[in-house]
């Protein structure tokens, strides 16, 4: 291995450590607790080292969002591939999405609430974000209904899921009614 390859590998390891540490700190204490000073202390590197990887917190949030979008896509695909039939796939998708939001609140915020400097719904949208949407579209497109554009239906269903995730997390919806909400959403929106 050349010196250059070793340096690139070490750089990639440091970058993964920064992202993982930011994510951990955000999950434990919220995104307000994620500062370059705290990250530098936790990973035992200087702040200039952090700035050699990311220009600031915004880019770190973006990196967490991209990682989280990949994980969300994997979770949705795993859940839907284990379900039998369109209705069961849609219900599995909804549950997987809501479970992801519940168990990864800081990551969910990085993807959907915070400014990570990422373009959404545009030509230059990063691939992990496009793939997370594609994971939804794969299942939801098949139940959009006659004359309904599959992507538009997917956006609408996703917006409903996002609303449920956000309102439940902030205590505005009772968590014990999560399953009846999923059933209602599937029954009323999906043409199964």
The answer to whether 157 and 138 are in contact (CB under 8 A) is no
Confidence check: pLDDT of 191 > 90: no
End-to-end CA distance of the chain: 55
For the chain, percent helix, then strand, then coil, each to nearest 5? Answer: 75, 0, 25
Q: pLDDT tens-digit profile of 73-90? A: 999 999 999 999 999 999
pLDDT value at position 1?
77
Alpha-carbon gap, residue 145 to 65, rounded angstroms: 31
Q: pLDDT value at position 6?
A: 86
What's the pLDDT at 181?
A: 95
What proportion of the chain, given as a percentage, has pLDDT over 70? Answer: 99
pLDDT exceeds cutoff 90 at 166: yes
Which of these ranges, 102-111, 130-139, 180-189, has the smallest mean pLDDT? 180-189
* 184 in Cβ contact with 178 (< 8 Å): no
Q: What is the mean pLDDT of the chain?
A: 95
Digit-coded pLDDT (tens) for 52-77? 999 999 999 999 999 999 999 999 99
What is the model's pLDDT at position 163? 97
Phi, psi of 58 (to 5 degrees): -55, -45
pTM for this prediction = 0.93
State the average pLDDT over residues 144-154: 94
Report pLDDT for 190.
Answer: 80
* pLDDT beyond 80 at 128: yes
pLDDT above 80: residue 104: yes
Residues 21-35: what's their mean pLDDT? Answer: 97
């Amino acid at each position: 291995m050349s010196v250059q390859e070793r340096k690139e590998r070490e750089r990639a390891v440091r970058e993964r450590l920064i992202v993982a540490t930011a994510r951990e700190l955000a999950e434990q204490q919220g995104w307000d607790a994620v500062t370059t000073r705290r990250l530098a202390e936790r990973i035992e590197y200087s702040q200039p080292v952090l700035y050699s990887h990311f220009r600031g917190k915004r880019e770190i949030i973006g990196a967490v969002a991209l990682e989280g979008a990949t994980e969300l896509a994997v979770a949705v695909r795993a859940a839907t591939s284990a379900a039998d039939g369109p209705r069961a796939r849609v219900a599995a998708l909804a549950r997987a999405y809501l479970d992801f939001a519940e168990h990864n609140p800081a990551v969910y915020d990085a993807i959907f609430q915070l400014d990570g400097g990422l373009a959404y719904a545009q030509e230059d949208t990063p691939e992990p974000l496009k793939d997370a949407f594609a994971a939804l579209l794969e299942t939801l497109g098949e139940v959009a209904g006659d004359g309904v554009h599959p992507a538009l239906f997917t956006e609408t269903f996703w917006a409903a899921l996002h609303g449920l995730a956000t309102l439940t997390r902030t205590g505005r919806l009772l968590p014990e009614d999560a399953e009846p909400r999923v059933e209602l959403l599937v029954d009323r929106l999906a043409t199964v």
